[in-house]
Amino acid sequence: MRRILAIIVGALRMWFRSKTTLFWTLAFPVLLMLLFGAIFSVSQNPTFDLYLQNQDITANGEPTQWSKAFCDMLNQTEMFNLHTVDSAENATKFIEEKGIQRLLIIPHGFNSSITVGNNVSIVLKMVPAEVDTASATMRNVINQVVEIFNTVVTGQSPPKMVTVKSESIVSETFKYIDFFAPGIIGMTLMTSGVFGAVAWNTRNKEFGILKKLATTPLSKLEWILGVVLYELIMGAISTIVIITVGVLVFNLKVIPNIFSVILIISGAIAFPGMGMVISRFVKESDSADAAANAITFPMMFLSGSFFPLEFMPDFLRQIANVLPLTYLNNGLRDSMVYGNVSSALLNTLVILSVGIFFIVLGSLITSWREE
Amino acid sequence: MLKNGETKLQEIAIEVNSLVKKYGTLAAVDGISFKVHKGEVFAFVGPNGAGKTTTVEILVCLRNPTSGEAKILGFDINDRKGQQQIRKRIGVLPQDFNTFDLLTVKENLNYYKKMYGEGMDVDALIELVDLKEKANALYKNLSGGLKKRLAIATTLVNDPEVIFLDEPTTGLDPRARRDMWNLIEGLKEKEKTIFLTTHYMDEAEVLADTVAIINFGKIIAMGAPSELILKHGGKTALMVEEGGKPVYDLLSQTLSDVRLENDGDVLVPLKKKSDLPNAVLALDKNKAEFAELIVRRPTLENVFLNLTGKKIVEGELH
């Protein structure tokens, strides 16, 4: 215990004296929060630029009855900043020339098809087939509009339902900060944990400090616990910083509960444990950094830190299911934001076992002795 | 310092028997055996790659030997329990050791002391290595010589009985090297057993009670420096600086094995007591021209040269 404490206190002293590590634990999470928060959470009522070409016009240049009704309905959602494109324009050419992102085409014969009861498709051109939240949300909204439009066409539902329905879509999707803040916590715990442990090990190896410590009565388990607990303190500090910024600046609503605390502790233990295992296999500091990058970078994007997993293709979701960060992110969201305790419990158990697994593995394979 | 107790000499601090370390087919350490007595400074001397560091790392329980036995203070290095006992009682300075950059001198020493729990008073230790004025300076702000002093101090935090110093002066400027020698002499006065590796022959000659010369994993000679020089160093020689061919011809008439070096110096091995006066008389009588007369005693460098046919320059064989 005395030895573990010495390792932690020493590491904290060095942390406090190093501007780079101070930056990574304190300033970097703040920057991330401010940046992403500013981009996404301000758009409480976001509008998308949507180009609309109505090809279904009458001989005297007026839009047909149903096509006009559809356009009005789109407008009523207040989600779109509609730009009308002349029906004579070549759509493909227009997209290329103007460099626009989204063009919705109501084809010729739209009105007549509806009148006689035939199926008709409207065309939404997006460049490219984007997967970002904005486009996905927009596609959702248009689908909703189409759905309601269909009920209007076929049934007798009053058109005012449109606005009600789409507003509910908006408020569900765009409390993005609630989604994002737990993701940032998860990501920070991962990067600071993995890189912290890797850097700490490789540096001390290069300086001969590990060799020196190996000649003392210090055991390798004590060493690993010292490093991991130090990283746990770092993780806790980063988490507090992130939550504070989220609450103060973006009005983040955090539900305090024991699962969140256990999750953060487990995550803050699992990732440095992973780092200790990586640095056992990769000896030189450059390649250890590269290995840590190779592992953390894909995990950052595939584990739903920045956008919901639902947007990803199936095979990527399969991968996400085996990444520990996925469980940390989901668990944090469930417990901190949604207050969904039962699903947080499962995620907590997963992360906790991953943490224990890496520490045990790390202390088994870490070798004080040289070959 | 050997004189201060013949009884002490009977106690053995390090005992090594037929120690072998193989990497594949290459034997880095090839069956070495030796004993180090308590209170002795034992120097392991040889070029880079001779097996010095490998031997140290086996003795301080960082590496497993392929075969052979070693005991430190009676504890077996091949035994787990023995290793624990050894770690408590030794202090080690690994090769190229640098301690924590962002901790002060005092914090660094306390850090290592905590690994043992008990040991020397850190302030006293700082005074011992003469770092009092720098006690609160960060390691990274120390000069190379002071860094080495702190490194030596870290080996003393647990007040060890045996100290292993792996190339403690490599890379130091001459002044810092002298400084380090004084420090090691100081430890010797405290009757610590010191196992030292170096590729500097002069260092071993100055510091060591016993020298083991190691080359290609084998000890090729061992003993007190004076003994080794007597046995393998060759004769004391008279050097006639810048004597050139005339002096060479003159002295060759009466003395054997006279050598003319490339730089014009003439070397006369002094085999008999009468050789020196005879040579000087001959030079005087013939009014020979030369720069200076110097009587040169052989050193450990001559020993190594005579045994291997090579010199060690900057740690490498030449």
pLDDT of residue B296: 85
Radius of gyration of chain A (CA): 27
How far is CA A52 from its chain centroid?
A: 31
pLDDT of residue B150: 94
pLDDT category, A346, cuts 50, 70, 90? confident
User: Distance (Å) from the C-alpha of residue A358 to the closest C-alpha of chain B?
Assistant: 24
pLDDT of residue B138: 95
Q: Is the pLDDT of residue B260 over 80?
A: yes
Residue B60: its chain A contacts at CB < 8 A? Answer: 215
User: Rounded to whole angstroms, how far apart are CA atoms A182 and A243?
Assistant: 9
User: Rounded to whole angstroms, how far apart are CA atoms A100 and A125?
Assistant: 10
Q: Is the pLDDT of residue B1 over 60?
A: no
pLDDT category, A217, cuts 50, 70, 90? very high
pLDDT category, A163, cuts 50, 70, 90? very low
pLDDT of residue B152: 93
What type of residue is B246?
P
pLDDT of residue A178: 76
User: Rounded to whole angstroms, how far apart are CA atoms A241 and A229?
Assistant: 18
pLDDT of residue A118: 77
State the average pLDDT over residues A337-357: 85
Q: Is the pLDDT of residue A211 over 80?
A: yes
User: Rounded to whole angstroms, how far apart are CA atoms A124 and A53?
Assistant: 10
CB A202 within 8 A of CB A279: yes
User: Rounded to whole angstroms, how far apart are CA atoms B153 and B186?
Assistant: 12
Highest mean predicted confidence (pLDDT) among A46-55, A81-90, A115-124, B225-234: B225-234
Q: Is the pLDDT of residue A58 over 60?
A: yes
CB B44 within 8 A of CB B16: no
Q: Is the pLDDT of residue B109 over 60?
A: yes
Q: Could you state, in order of their start, the residue ranges of all structural domains in chain A?
A: 2-41+175-365, 48-173
State the average pLDDT over residues A273-301: 83
Q: Is the pLDDT of residue B227 over 60?
A: yes
State the average pLDDT over residues A128-153: 71
pLDDT of residue A260: 86
* ipTM score for this prediction: 0.85
Provide the greatest CA pair distance for chain B: 74
Greater confidence, A45 or B147?
B147
pLDDT of residue A180: 82
Q: What is the pTM of this model?
A: 0.75
Domains of chain B: 6-231 (3.40.50.300), 235-297 (3.30.70.980)
Q: Which long-range contacts (CB under 8 A, 24 or more apart) does B127-131 make?
A: B128/B153, B128/B156, B128/B186, B129/B153, B129/B183, B131/B105
pLDDT of residue A369: 66
What type of residue is B82?
G
State the average pLDDT over residues B154-181: 92
State the average pLDDT over residues A140-169: 59
For β-strands B41-45 and B26-37, DSSP reports them as unpaired
pLDDT of residue A139: 74
Provide the greatest CA pair distance for chain A: 94
Residue A208: its chain B contacts at CB < 8 A? Answer: 94-98
User: Rounded to whole angstroms, how far apart are CA atoms A163 and A45?
Assistant: 13
User: Out of A6, A13, A207, whose CB is closest to B98?
Assistant: A207
For β-strands B210-215 and B41-45, DSSP reports them as parallel
Put simply, the answer to whether B111 touches A214 (Cβ < 8 Å) is: no
Residue B96: its chain A contacts at CB < 8 A? Answer: 208
Percent of residues, chain A, with pLDDT higher than 70:
88
User: Out of B63, B103, B115, whose CB is closest to A13?
Assistant: B103
Q: Is the pLDDT of residue A61 over 90?
A: no
Query: What angle, 0 to 180 degrees and rounded to 10, lies between the N-to-C axes of helices A176-206 and A220-250?
Result: 150
Q: Is the pLDDT of residue A285 over 90?
A: no
Average pLDDT, chain B: 90
Best mutation target among A9, A209, A227 (most B Cβ atoms within 10 Å) is A209
Q: Is the pLDDT of residue A40 over 60?
A: yes
Best mutation target among B86, B102, B136 (most A Cβ atoms within 10 Å) is B102
Average pLDDT, chain A: 80
A23 lies within 8 A of chain B by CB:
no
Put simply, the answer to whether B94 touches A18 (Cβ < 8 Å) is: no
How far is CA A61 from its chain centroid?
A: 47
User: Rounded to whole angstroms, how far apart are CA atoms A193 and A189?
Assistant: 6
pLDDT category, A42, cuts 50, 70, 90? low
Angle at A186 between CA A185 and CA A191, to 5 degrees: 100
CATH of the domain spanning A48-173:
3.40.1710.10
Q: Is the pLDDT of residue A148 over 90?
A: no
Q: Is the pLDDT of residue B290 over 50?
A: yes
pLDDT of residue A59: 78
pLDDT of residue B55: 95
Q: Is the pLDDT of residue A284 over 80?
A: no
Range of weakest confidence among A161-175, A285-299, B19-33: A161-175
CB A183 within 8 A of CB A325: no
pLDDT of residue B127: 92
Q: Is the pLDDT of residue A166 over 50?
A: no
Q: List b or e across A20-57, with b for residues whose CB sees 16 or more CB atoms inside 10 angstroms.
A: ebeebbeebbeebbeebbeebbeeeebebebbbbbbbb
Put simply, the answer to whether B95 touches A208 (Cβ < 8 Å) is: yes
User: Out of B60, B100, B111, whose CB is closest to A215?
Assistant: B60
Range of weakest confidence among A59-68, B161-170, B246-255: A59-68
State the average pLDDT over residues A294-322: 83
Greater confidence, A131 or B266?
B266
Radius of gyration of chain B (CA): 23
User: Distance (Å) from the C-alpha of residue A295 to the closest C-alpha of chain B?
Assistant: 28
Put simply, the answer to whether A215 touches B103 (Cβ < 8 Å) is: no
How far is CA A328 from its chain centroid?
A: 12
User: Distance (Å) from the C-alpha of residue A138 to the closest C-alpha of chain B?
Assistant: 52
Q: Is the pLDDT of residue A128 over 70?
A: no
What type of residue is A292?
A
B-chain residue closest to A9, CA distance: B111
Please compute, for residue B59, the number of CA atoms within 13 A of its CA located in the half-sphere on the CB side: 38
User: Out of B61, B88, B94, whose CB is closest to A212?
Assistant: B94
pLDDT category, A363, cuts 50, 70, 90? confident
A212 lies within 8 A of chain B by CB:
yes
Q: Which long-range contacts (CB under 8 A, 24 or more apart) does B177-183 make?
A: B177/B203, B179/B145, B179/B149, B180/B145, B180/B148, B180/B149, B180/B152, B181/B206, B181/B207, B183/B129, B183/B149, B183/B152
pLDDT category, A317, cuts 50, 70, 90? confident
Put simply, the answer to whether B87 touches A369 (Cβ < 8 Å) is: no
User: Rounded to whole angstroms, how far apart are CA atoms A305 and A143?
Assistant: 26
How far is CA B129 from its chain centroid?
A: 20
Phi, psi of A198 (to 5 degrees): -65, -50
Greater confidence, A263 or A338?
A263
Q: Which of A121, A125, A162 is nearest to A51 (CA)?
A: A125
pLDDT category, A301, cuts 50, 70, 90? confident
Q: Is the pLDDT of residue A274 over 60?
A: yes
pLDDT of residue A370: 63
